Amino acid sequence: MKGVLSYKYLVEKAQEAESSEYLEEAVTFYQKAIKTEPSQELPYDRLMIIYRKQKNYKEELRVLNEGIQFFKGQHENKQRELVGTNKKIAQLSTAFMKSVGLKDKKGKNTYYPEPVPRWEKRKQVVEKKLKK
């Protein structure tokens, strides 16, 4: 329970700092909140917004990559947990997912739940801005 309280405390402090225009302080609190509860998307979103406002696209891209990597990994781990160690179930699951378009021919996921698709779209925009 202590982790949940400290996460809430960090987010509240970050939101207070952000609303008072103390953006560097808000960034620090949001980064600590991510370390405390990496499975919450709010701190990632707020950090991306702060960096976007500052036109700090390198840092926004770093946060995007970090968030995408974590949430994709979390989704893939959940899939493995659901299938378990039974090879037949894993084979059938993969075949089904390929047939409905959730995996490609090589067995890689083509679908990820939110926020990954939204963040991948934003990542493309940020990468274009960095190339300019």
Q: What is the pLDDT of residue 43?
A: 98
Mean pLDDT, rounded, for 99-103: 92
DSSP string, the chain: -HHHHHHHHHHHHHHHHHHTT-HHHHHHHHHHHHHH-TT-SHHHHHHHHHHHHTT-HHHHHHHHHHHHHHHHHHHHHHHHHHHTT-HHHHHHHHHHHHHTTSB-TTS-B----TTHHHHHHHHHHHHHHHH-
In which band, very low, low, confident or very high, does the pLDDT at 132 lie, cut at 50, 70 and 90?
confident
Q: What is the pLDDT of residue 2?
A: 56
Question: What is the per-residue pLDDT across 31-90, written as a single tens digit (0 to 9) for each?
Answer: 999 999 999 999 999 999 999 999 999 999 999 999 999 999 999 999 889 888 889 988
d(CA 33, CA 14): 9
Q: What is the pLDDT of residue 82?
A: 87
Question: What is the per-residue pLDDT across 6-45, written as a single tens digit (0 to 9) for each?
Answer: 999 999 999 999 999 999 999 999 999 999 999 999 999 9
